[in-house]
């Protein structure tokens, strides 16, 4: 099913219900009378802002949504009832609250809201319900509607400012944890959070693919990696700053920038993600790093998860391999080669090209006329 990006997420979810209802006596189609969303991403998708995270690591949310062809019910615990009702619940949406200590209460409430047996309910992968529609739900939400695109671009600008401002303030010898703290503060200040935040420097940056901040001094070169989340949407970006001679670092990053451009140019509407991954592998080889894609995650579509799905050039049997790229999908590719050299940003795919989302308009960029990419910020003032 090709999503219609102007539709609201709730309308799309209802369309998915209709598509899986089947017909009487048709044993070849699933009999789905409703869908229950239980995870933070899908819940945020269908009702934006309904579930600011309490436990940011939780796989199952404290807010669920049960969607029928003509109904929408929010289910939460009695602990959260008043806050959800007074601050978050959209007009016209029913709210049901259940005891926090009853492990089956939310499942029972969802079943009652939809009025059918569990075997006729689809979900985002929750094992209590009869049909796992997680793949179909992900496909349905990949193309962002106009409101989602506005929210994504706002998030992209604010997240980028948080990273770039923190790196501009870096002083050689400062602990990597201090830089990370400034980035986190910047994200929290606009109401977001950071599912991924890495800051690495110098030898640790060159040795480790994921240089988690450990309090080590950052004396010559710093890389900051951020995945920021707000109202369910995510953006990802990577930035570098250094003092002294940056020629060797820039030369290495030129390789990953070139691979990134090849992937972005390949990922246009109506091609398959498999063909994009083939371009990725070929680009690594063309730049003297054949097979290096296997050394690190390569990214992919981003939205209501830090990556909606992620596959490699070797996974040609994946159900995502033949999935078409849709207009208005956000992507965050992440090509990298050993030595601390990676290139990452969030882009929106459109009919006329790709558009940089994680952009502050305040960072040095290279001179590529079609796809300028961020350079290393040279700190000649320190």
Label residue 32 by pLDDT band (50, 70, 90).
very high
pLDDT at 189: 98
Distance (Å, rounded) from C-alpha 205 to C-alpha 249?
12
The tens digit of pLDDT for each residue in 140-172 reads 999 999 999 999 999 999 999 999 999 999 999
Which segments of the chain belong to CATH 3.40.350.10? 9-142
User: Is pLDDT above 80 for 177?
Assistant: yes
Nearest to 327 by CA among 145, 135, 155, 151: 145
In the numeric block, the tokens 């080889």 are attached to 285
In the numeric block, the tokens 């969303």 are attached to 37
Q: How far is CA 364 from the centre of its chain?
A: 25
Label residue 381 by pLDDT band (50, 70, 90).
confident
The tens digit of pLDDT for each residue in 114-134 reads 999 999 999 999 999 999 999
pLDDT at 382: 76
Note whether 85 and 50 are within 8 A (CB). no
Is 223 exposed, middle or buried, given 0-12, 13-18 or 19+ CB atoms closer than 10 A? buried
Is 358 exposed, middle or buried, given 0-12, 13-18 or 19+ CB atoms closer than 10 A? buried
Tokens of 121: 């309910």
Strand order, beta sheet including 347-350: 299-301, 330-333, 347-350, 353-356
The pLDDT of 8-26, averaged and rounded, is 81
- 126: helix, strand or coil: coil
Q: How many other C-beta atoms can be found within 10 angstroms of the C-beta atom of residue 58?
A: 11
Q: Are strands 377-378 and 341-342 parallel, antiparallel or unpaired?
A: unpaired
DSSP string, 199-217: EEEHHHHHH-SS----S-E
DSSP string, 323-362: PBP-TTBEEEE--EETTTEE----EEEETTEEEESS--S-
The tens digit of pLDDT for each residue in 188-209 reads 999 999 999 999 999 999 999 9
Q: How many other C-beta atoms can be found within 10 angstroms of the C-beta atom of residue 104?
A: 10
Q: How many other C-beta atoms can be found within 10 angstroms of the C-beta atom of residue 89?
A: 18
DSSP letter at 89 equals: P
Note whether 194 and 219 are within 8 A (CB). no
Tell me the pTM.
0.96
User: Is pLDDT above 50 for 139?
Assistant: yes
Nearest to 129 by CA among 15, 214, 34: 34
Q: Which string of b and e fits 22-54 if b means at least 16 CB within 10 Å?
A: eeeeeeeebbbbbbbbbbbbbbbbbbbebbbee
25: left (phi over 0), alpha (psi -120 to 50) or beta: left
Instruction: Give the chain's radius of gyration (CA, Å).
Output: 22
- 44: helix, strand or coil: helix
pLDDT at 27: 46
Label residue 22 by pLDDT band (50, 70, 90).
low
Class of domain 9-142: alpha beta
Could you say which of 3.30.1370.60, 3.90.230.10, 2.30.110.10, 3.40.50.300 is the CATH number of the domain covering 146-378? 3.90.230.10
Which segments of the chain belong to CATH 3.90.230.10? 146-378
Distance (Å, rounded) from C-alpha 50 to C-alpha 40?
10
Interhelix angle 273-286/247-266, rounded to 10 degrees, is 150
CA count, 13 A, side-chain hemisphere, 237? 28
DSSP letter at 285 equals: H
Q: Are strands 71-77 and 94-98 parallel, antiparallel or unpaired?
A: parallel
Distance (Å, rounded) from C-alpha 138 to C-alpha 256?
28
pLDDT at 25: 45
Q: What is the dihedral of CA 89, 93, 94, 95, to 10 degrees?
A: -20
pLDDT at 29: 54
């Amino acid at each position: 099913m090709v999503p219609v990006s102007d539709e609201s997420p709730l309308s799309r979810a209802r369309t998915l219900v209709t598509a899986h209802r089947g017909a009487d006596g048709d044993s070849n189609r699933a009999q789905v009378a409703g869908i229950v969303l239980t995870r933070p991403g899908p819940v945020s998708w269908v009702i934006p802002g309904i579930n600011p995270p309490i436990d940011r690591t939780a796989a199952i949310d404290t807010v669920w949504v049960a969607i029928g062809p003509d109904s929408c019910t929010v289910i939460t615990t009695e602990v959260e009832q008043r806050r959800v009702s007074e601050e978050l619940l959209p007009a016209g949406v029913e709210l049901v609250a259940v005891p926090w200590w009853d492990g089956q209460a939310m499942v029972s409430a969802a079943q009652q809201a939809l009025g059918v047996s569990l075997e006729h309910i689809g979900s985002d992968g929750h094992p209590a319900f009869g049909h796992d529609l997680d793949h179909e739900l992900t496909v349905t939400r990949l193309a962002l509607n106009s409101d989602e695109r506005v929210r994504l671009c706002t998030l992209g600008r604010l997240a980028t400012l948080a990273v770039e401002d923190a790196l501009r303030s870096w002083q050689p010898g400062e602990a990597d944890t201090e830089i990370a703290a400034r980035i986190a503060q910047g994200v929290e200040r606009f109401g977001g959070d950071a599912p991924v935040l890495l800051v690495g420097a110098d030898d640790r940056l060159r040795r480790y693919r994921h240089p988690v901040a450990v309090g080590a001094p950052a004396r010559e070169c710093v890389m900051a990696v951020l995945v920021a989340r707000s109202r369910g949407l995510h953006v990802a970006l990577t930035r570098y700053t250094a003092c002294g001679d940056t020629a060797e670092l820039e030369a290495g990053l030129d390789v990953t920038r070139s691979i990134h451009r090849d992937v972005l140019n390949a990922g246009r509407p109506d091609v398959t993600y498999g063909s994009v991954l083939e371009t990725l592998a070929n680009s690594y080889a063309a730049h003297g790093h054949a097979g290096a894609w296997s050394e690190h995650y390569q990214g992919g579509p981003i939205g209501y998860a830090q990556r909606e799905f992620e596959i490699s050039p070797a996974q040609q049997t994946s159900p995502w391999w033949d999935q078409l790229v849709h207009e208005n999908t956000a992507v965050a590719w992440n090509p990298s080669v050993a030595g601390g050299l990676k290139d990452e940003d969030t882009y929106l795919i459109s009919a006329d090209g790709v558009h940089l989302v994680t952009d502050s308009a305040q960072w040095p960029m290279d001179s590529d006329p079609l796809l300028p990419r961020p350079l290393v910020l040279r700190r000649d003032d320190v």
